A and B are shown apart, each in its own frame.
Chain A
Amino acid sequence: MLSIPKHTLIQDVPTRWNSSHDMLERYLEQQAAVYSALTEKAIKKNKDITTLSDQDVRMAEEIVETPGSRPYLVDDACRERIYSSLITEIVSMEEKSEEATGTSAASSSSGAGHSGAPESSPPVKKSAMTELFDFEEVSNLLTLEANATKLAVSGFTASLSGEEDVKLDLMEDEEGLEEMSKLLEGGTPTGGFWTFEYYKSFFNVDTVQVLDRVKGSVMPMPGKNFIKHYLRSKPDLYGPFWICVTLVFSVAISGNLSTFLSQMGDQSYHYRPQFHRVTIAAVVIFMYAWLVPLCAWGFLTWQKGDEGQMGGYTFLETVCVYGYSLFIFIPTSLLWIIPLEWLRWLLILVSTVVSGSVLVLNFWPVVRDHTKVTAIATLVTIVILHSLLAIGCKIYFFQTAVPMAAPETTTQLLLTTQVTKSH
Chain B
Amino acid sequence: MAEADGSSRPFAGLSDVSISEDIPVEGDISMPPAGPSAQDDGFSTLDEPVRDTVLRDLRAVGNKFVHVLYPKQSKALLRDWDLWGPLLLCVTLALLLQGGSADSKEDGGPQFAEVFVVIWFGSVIITLNSKLLGGTISFFQSLCVLGYCIMPLTVAMVVCRVVLLGGSGPASFAVRLVVVCASFGWSTFASTAFLADSQPPNRKALVVYPVFLFYFVIGWMILTFSPSQ
B-binding residues in A (CB < 8 A)? 8-9, 11, 30, 33-34, 37-38, 43, 49, 51, 196, 199-200, 202-203, 205-208, 210, 238, 242, 245-246, 249, 253, 256, 270-276, 279, 403
Contact = CB atoms under 8 A, between A and B. Distances in A.
A255 to B, nearest CB: 12
A199 B134 CA distance: 11
Question: Is chain A's binding surface mostly helix, strand, loop or mixed?
Answer: helix
Given A33-B6, A238-B206, A242-B210, A275 B114 contact: yes
B203 interface: yes
B7 A9 contact: yes
B226 A270 contact: yes
Given A246-B213, A270-B226, A238 B107 contact: no
B209 interface: yes
Nearest to A49: B3
B72 to A, nearest CB: 26
A207 B224 contact: no
Given A207-B203, A238-B133, A272 B3 contact: no
Contacts of A279: 114
Interface in B98-130: 99, 106-111, 114, 129
Contacts of A37: 3, 5-6, 9
Given A8-B7, A9-B4, 19 more contacts: A9-B3, A33-B6, A34-B3, A200-B134, A205-B203, A208-B202, A238-B206, A242-B129, A242-B213, A249-B217, A270-B229, A272-B107, A273-B108, A273-B109, A273-B110, A273-B225, A273-B226, A275-B99, A275-B114
A274 B3 contact: no
A206 B213 contact: no
B140 interface: no
A193 to B, nearest CB: 14
A-B CB proximity, top 6 nearest: A272-B107, A203-B132, A37-B5, A275-B110, A273-B224, A207-B205
Contacts of A196: 131-132
Interface of B: 1, 3-7, 9, 99, 106-111, 114, 129, 131-134, 202-206, 209-210, 213, 216-217, 220-221, 224-226, 229
A255 B109 CA distance: 15
Contacts of B9: 37
Given A49-B3, A249-B217, A272 B109 contact: yes
Nearest to B205: A207
Nearest to B15: A42
- Counting chain A CB atoms within 10 Å of each CB, the highest count among B106, B111, B225 belongs to B106
Given A9-B4, A271-B224, A206 B202 contact: yes
Contacts of A30: 6
Nearest to B110: A275
Contacts of A210: 206
A207 B208 CA distance: 11
B76 to A, nearest CB: 28
A9 B6 contact: yes
A156 to B, nearest CB: 35
B108 A275 contact: yes
Contacts of A8: 6-7
Nearest to A275: B110
A273 B221 contact: yes
Contact of B226 (A11, A43, A253, A272): A272
B3 A38 contact: yes
B112 to A, nearest CB: 12
A203 B129 CA distance: 8
Given A249-B217, A273-B225, A275-B99, A34 B6 contact: yes
Nearest to B132: A203
A273 B6 contact: no
A238 B213 contact: no
- Counting chain B CB atoms within 10 Å of each CB, the highest count among A34, A205, A238, A256 belongs to A238
Contact of A38 (B5, B203, B209, B217): B5
A160 B16 CA distance: 46
Given A8-B7, A9-B7, A34-B6, A275 B109 contact: yes
Given A238-B133, A275-B221, A207 B106 contact: no
18 contacts: A33-B6, A38-B3, A200-B134, A202-B132, A207-B204, A210-B206, A242-B210, A249-B213, A253-B220, A256-B224, A271-B226, A272-B107, A273-B99, A273-B224, A273-B225, A275-B99, A275-B108, A279-B114
